[in-house]
Structure 1
């Protein structure tokens, strides 16, 4: 492969960055093109990555740190970068099927134009932990499934299906027709600690700065609020989402 071809391949690929995300990707069914390992990278996890890559007959390329810095856009790659096929999106039907296979009522997250990939990755990580059946994001003006999202999710991207839709408002209306009760957030909403999330539910998490858009807010069945008694009257989107997701988990899985 010429240097020009290599550059083209790097630009056209998605990346999985970091040791634990790499292990998760190698253990999954995701299509992986190549494994880059830093020349001096050592340790048990590196040995495991090598074993998994060889088992799948993947190309392993030992490279200088500068090369991995370039591929990861100077993220903390920990000496490992995978080039992978673009992350595949699910459909709304896939999300319902995921819940059906688990014999559970659907629990979906609806992300209203989140822009920070770290927030999306963190939300995916918590969504996996609480057993959410999928995430819905818009195609435009929002972060998608990127290498940074994959790394922040620490492998959850392999287990939480993400559907990308053209119009969130129309999607929410369709979900309601399918029997999904839609919850959003508002300062004057019900205290989230009283939220009963049993049944088929969708939880809307608003944009980092603007919150839930007015059009979506009009289609919410009930709003929730997170009480705050300190001086700062807002929470990071992924932190707020985590609190709400675990309240949903608690109400859907009560202690005996």
Structure 2
């Protein structure tokens, strides 16, 4: 995914280049908090982020963090109650929370279409837990990135990051205004789009050919919107011999990613 944008990108505070940002809207992560051991440590280890803005940890967790990362100027020792007050109600923070520097996002043009490459596109999947679980599967199965709609997708922080268990830092993301136009752009770059639709005639295994593919998943209630489906090169279903009508979108993404990761000649 390297490009001239990456070569010309400014160096961050850690002396490393971020992922290329390209032409995109402003970073949707803003200055929101991350919490939980895996999301926070993954963010601290990520060279795409600048130095942390504010880091809260219990004394025991602060010791663990500095043993791993060295001195952290943004670190402030706090008890569990103080950390909880900085976060949304019910956040399971495990004694650590981070107000992170913005995460650099990529542009569509930075996704290079190579044989076996898989991109995910989520059409109005709005639940942070679902998106986080999808990102976790995307990282596990080696997807090169995820495309989200900027007005109908959660931020890459908070509950989403907790559900992703660090995958936010591993899977490049791009937010776009219009998914149909994004599919047109990706087609021009050499990607083939396959939309998941339970009413499709052919199964996913029949449709995949080993070439670069965009797997497009819709929301659980509505599925793919008409225009998004029309911009897919083909629609495919996940065969379910057990007779159950549908899968949770994060489960469907995991099955689809597993199928796409299988070697094809």
Deviation at 1:230, TM superposition (A): 4.6
Match of 2:18 in 1: none
1:17 is aligned to 2:35: yes
For 1:20 and 1:47, the matched residues in 2 are separated by: 16
Between Structure 1 and Structure 2, the one with more strand by share is: 1
Q: 1:93 aligns with which of 103, 106, 109?
A: 109
2:208 to 187, 191, 196: 196
Give the Å deviation of 1:232: 4.1
Unmatched segments (≥5 aa) in structure 2 = 1-29
Matches within 5 A, 1:152-171: 152-171=163-182
Check if 1:237 corresponds to 2:232: no
TM-score, with normalisation over the residues of structure 1?
A: 0.82
Partner of 2:141: 130
In the alignment, which residue of structure 2 is the partner of 1:9?
none
Distance 1:180 1:25 in 2: 30
Map of 2:75 onto structure 1: 60
2:53 to 28, 33, 36: 33
1:123–1:76: structure 2 CA closer, same or farther, 3 Å change rule?
same
SS of corresponding position for 1:141:
coil
Query: 1:172, 1:143 → 2: CA distance?
Result: 20
**How large is the RMSD of aligned CA atoms in angstroms?**
2.1
The aligned residue for residue 224 of structure 2 is: 212
Query: What's the counterpart of residue 49 of structure 1?
Result: 65
TM-score computed with the length of structure 2 as normaliser = 0.80
Which segments of 5 or more consecutive residues in structure 1 lack a partner in the other structure? 1-11
Change (3 A) 1:249 1:105: closer
Q: 1:76 aligns with which of 92, 96, 99?
A: 92
Query: How many correspondences in the alignment?
Result: 232
